Amino acid sequence: MVQIAVMGYGVVGSGVVEVFYKNRESIQRRAGCEMEIKRILDLREFPGSPYAEKFTKNFEDILQDDDIRVVVEVMGGVHPAFEFVQQCLQRGKSVATSNKELVATKGAELLKTAAENNVNFLFEASVGGGIPILRPLSQCLAANEIMEIDGILNGTTNYILTKMIKEQVSFADALQQAQQLGYAERDPSADIEGADACRKVCILASLAFGKHVYPDSVYTEGITKISLDDVAYAADMDCVIKLIGRVQKLSDSRITATVYPAFISHDSQLATVDDVFNAVLVRGDAIGDVVFYGKGAGKLPTASAVVADVIDCVKHIGTRKLISWEDCHDPDYVVDYKTDTVSMYVCMQTQDRPALQEAVKQQFGVVRTLSRPNAPGDAFAFATGAMPEAQIDQKLSAVSSLGTVTSKIRILSDI
Amino acid sequence: MVQIAVMGYGVVGSGVVEVFYKNRESIQRRAGCEMEIKRILDLREFPGSPYAEKFTKNFEDILQDDDIRVVVEVMGGVHPAFEFVQQCLQRGKSVATSNKELVATKGAELLKTAAENNVNFLFEASVGGGIPILRPLSQCLAANEIMEIDGILNGTTNYILTKMIKEQVSFADALQQAQQLGYAERDPSADIEGADACRKVCILASLAFGKHVYPDSVYTEGITKISLDDVAYAADMDCVIKLIGRVQKLSDSRITATVYPAFISHDSQLATVDDVFNAVLVRGDAIGDVVFYGKGAGKLPTASAVVADVIDCVKHIGTRKLISWEDCHDPDYVVDYKTDTVSMYVCMQTQDRPALQEAVKQQFGVVRTLSRPNAPGDAFAFATGAMPEAQIDQKLSAVSSLGTVTSKIRILSDI
C-alpha cells in the first residue's frame, strides 16, 4: 500500500481526489500496487466533505509521515509551494505537480534535489493540462533531435481570438464573455498578457533542449492590442491570428524562445485549433511534424494528468525517471528576439499615403499591400519580406515622419 | 556498451540504422549508456554499404550472441518474424518492432513470452508510425477509463479520399496518383481494403482494454466502393468521408471494434486530417478528447519511433515496462457490429421515386433527403436516424422491391 498526500484542495486538487477514487481500481492495476490518499492539505474548512478526516492544515503532518511516499502539489504559486516540494523531495518523497509557475521558475533546482534524493519530480500537467506532451517529448521522440516547438498554449486567449476571428467580437467583449463562461479569471492578466504561455514555453524549452530557460529570458507579448482590423488584414493574407509560444534550436546550439500573437496560414495545423483547445506542434529531424491536441485546462483533464504522474511515481519508487535538465545562467543562451528573422504585418496611419507607400517601397523593397473592407483612407497596411526584426524596426523608423505605426504583428509562414 | 541487432534492412530497417548513427550521441545520452549496432540480418547483399561487415544472413549469429541485448524486428510479415522474435525473447533479449501484422496476430503470445523472460517487447511504431500513441495511451492516460478511440489510421486511403473530396478525382485515378507518388504499393489491397487499419485497431483495442482483439473479429470495410457521388452527398450533410477505425467500450465491458468509411462532420477534429496524415482521437472519462496527429508512415518517422523503443529497451534492461494485455478467445468479447446503433447514408436507384420515398418514410419515419448537383432523376439519397444496424438492413430490404441500394455509408456524428 502506497500512501499519498494532496497539497491544495482547489479546482485541480479536488479533481485529483475525484479521479483517484472514481478510477481507483484501474489506477492501482496500472501502478501495480494498492494506493490510498492519506492526507489533504488545505487551510480552508471542508466540513461536509466525505474526506473530512483526511484534511490537515499542518504541512508537517505530511512531511514527517514516512508512510507517505508520493505527494501531489496543486496549491499554485511559487511560495510556499517551492519550500514544501523541496522538503518533500529531501525527505525521500516523490512529487507530482501541475504548477507551471513553480516548474518554470524553480524546475532545475527541484529536479536536482529529486536526483540527489533518488526520487521523482514529475509535472506532465503543467504544460498541456490533460494533453500528454512532456512524456511523448522526452520518450517517444527520444530518437529525434528536436528542431522546433510551436504551441497554442493558453485556452483563454485562444477562446478570445476565436471569437474575434469567427464572430467579429471585439477583444473587450470576447474577454468579458470568457469571464462569464469561467474561461478567464477576474484578473485575466496572466492569460492575456502571455505570462501563462511564457511559463509553458520555459518548460518545453528546458525539457527539449536540456537547459533551464527562465521566464524573464522569453520575450512575451500578449493579445490585448489585437483589433478586429488586424483580424481582417490577416484574413486578406489567408491567415488567422493565434498566440504562439515558440522555441527553436539554432545551429550554434543557442535557442530562440518567444510568446507573441502571430499571423499563421489557414493551412497550418495550428490554424484550426479553436476555442479553449490547445495544441503543440513538435518538429523533429526524423519524425517531421507531430501535433498533440486537446483541452489544455479544466478540472478533470488536468487532474487526470496529475494522477498519471502519481501512478508513474508509484511505479518508480526507488528508481528514477530520466526527465531532467540542467540549470543555465548563460545570458546568451536564449538569443535576443530582435535578431530573429521574421516577416511582419504593419498597419500605419498617414496623412500622405502615396508618399508613405513610396518611402516604404524604398526601405523594404517589394511589400505586399493588404486591404480590408471599409478601411479608412488614411490607413496603409502591408506585409514585409523576411529579415531580422531589428532591421524592420530601423526601416520603420526611417519612414516614421510620414505616418504612425498602429499595429505590428509577426507572420509565421513555416508552421 | 549495449549491442543491438537489426533484423531486416528494407525501408524501415535502413532508416533505423540511419537515425541511430545520425543522432547517436543524444540517443546514448537519453539511454544512459553507450550503444552499438552489431549485426544486421538480411538475405540480400549490400556490397557498397558502410555497414557491410555487420550484415549476416544467419539468424543464429544474432540469437546465439549474448552480447546482443536488444533486437529490432522490421522484416514485416508474420513468418519467420514471429519465430525469430519468440526465440530472441526466450533467449533474454528485448525486442522492438514496427510490424503491425505481427503484433495484431501474435501480440498476446509474444507479450507473455516477454513477461516470462523478464524482457521487453515494444511496438510503438506499429500503430502511428512516428506518432506517439501507445505510450501516451498506456502512461499519460493511465488515470482515465478509456471510453473510445477513433482513428484515421492509414495514410494511403486518407490520401485517396482527400483527392476525391478536394479535387473531385475518381477513386481509380486517385489510387493511381498515390501509386505514382509511392504512397500506395503496387498491390494496394492491404491499404484500400482496410486490412492495415484493421491491424492497428486490434493493437489499440488490445492495449486500451487489456484483452487481445484479433483481426478476424474486427468488421472491416475498405474504400473501394466510394464514389464521387457519395462524396457529393456527404458534402450536402456538411460531412467528409474518412476511413475510420473505431473501438468503443460498452457498459457490459464488451467492446465494439470496426473499420469502415464514414461520414464525419466538417467540425470534427478528424475532418481536417488530410493527405497522408494520420490522427488518433482518444476519449477518456476524465480527460475528454485528446488527438495525436502526424505522418503515420514513412521511413524516418517510423524508424525514429523504433529507435525510441530501443532506447526504452536499453533503459529497462532487467526491468519490465508494464505494456501488456491478456489473450482472449471469447467470441462475444467484440460484439457483432450489426447490433451497433448508427445512422446511415443510403443511396438508391429507383424507377418510381415517389413510391420509394413514401415507402422509406413509412419504414424509417422521418429521414433527411440528400441532394447533389446533377443527380439523375432515378437516384434517391437519404440519411436515416440512429438505430441498430440490423434494423436498418431490415427496413431497407422491406423497400427493396421499389429500388436498389447503390451506396450505404455509416454516419458518425459523435466525433
Per-10-residue mean pLDDT, chain A, length 415: 96 94 91 95 93 96 97 96 98 96 96 95 90 83 89 95 96 95 88 96 94 96 97 97 97 94 91 90 90 84 92 87 83 94 96 95 94 93 96 97 97 92
Q: Do B308 and A142 lie within an 8 Å CB cutoff?
A: yes
Mean pLDDT, residues B370-388: 95
Does any CB of chain B come closer than 8 Å to the CB of residue A366?
Answer: no
Model pLDDT, residue B130: 82
Does any CB of chain B come closer than 8 Å to the CB of residue A294?
Answer: yes
Does any CB of chain B come closer than 8 Å to the CB of residue A267?
Answer: no
Model pLDDT, residue A129: 83
Q: Is residue B262's pLDDT more than 70?
A: yes
Q: Do A311 and B143 lie within an 8 Å CB cutoff?
A: yes
- Residues of A with CB below 8 A from B98's CB? none
Q: Do B287 and A301 lie within an 8 Å CB cutoff?
A: yes
* A-proximal residues of B, 22-61, CB under 8 Å: 22-23, 26-27, 30, 32
Does any CB of chain B come closer than 8 Å to the CB of residue A292?
Answer: yes
Q: Please name the member of B22, B26, B140 whose beta carbon is closest to the beta carbon of A308.
A: B140
Query: What global pTM score does this model have?
Result: 0.88
Model pLDDT, residue A383: 97
Instruction: Name the minimum distance, in Å, from the CA of B291 to any CA of chain A.
Output: 5
Q: Is residue B88's pLDDT more than 70?
A: yes
Categorize the per-residue pLDDT at B322 as very low, low, confident or very high, splitting at 50, 70 and 90.
low
Model pLDDT, residue A322: 64
Q: Is residue B8's pLDDT more than 90?
A: yes
Domains defined along chain B, listed by start = 2-130+300-315 (3.40.50.720), 134-295 (3.30.360.10), 339-412 (3.30.70.1150)
Q: Please name the member of B140, B293, B305 whose beta carbon is closest to the beta carbon of A132.
A: B140
Q: Please name the member of A32, A288, A306 whose beta carbon is closest to the beta carbon of B294.
A: A288
* B-proximal residues of A, 346-365, CB under 8 Å: none
- Residues of A with CB below 8 A from B290's CB? 130-132, 292-294
Does any CB of chain A come closer than 8 Å to the CB of residue B267?
Answer: no
Q: Please name the member of A22, A136, A287 whose beta carbon is closest to the beta carbon of B301.
A: A287
The total number of residues shown for chain A amounts to 415
The interface predicted TM-score of the complex, written ipTM, equals: 0.82
A-B C-beta contacts closer than 8 Å? 170
- Residues of B with CB below 8 A from A312's CB? 139, 142
Q: Is residue B51's pLDDT more than 80?
A: yes
Q: Do B132 and A140 lie within an 8 Å CB cutoff?
A: yes
Identify the closest residue of chain A to B301 by CA–CA distance. Answer: A287
Does any CB of chain A come closer than 8 Å to the CB of residue B303?
Answer: yes
Q: Is residue B299's pLDDT more than 90?
A: no
Q: Is residue B296's pLDDT more than 80?
A: no
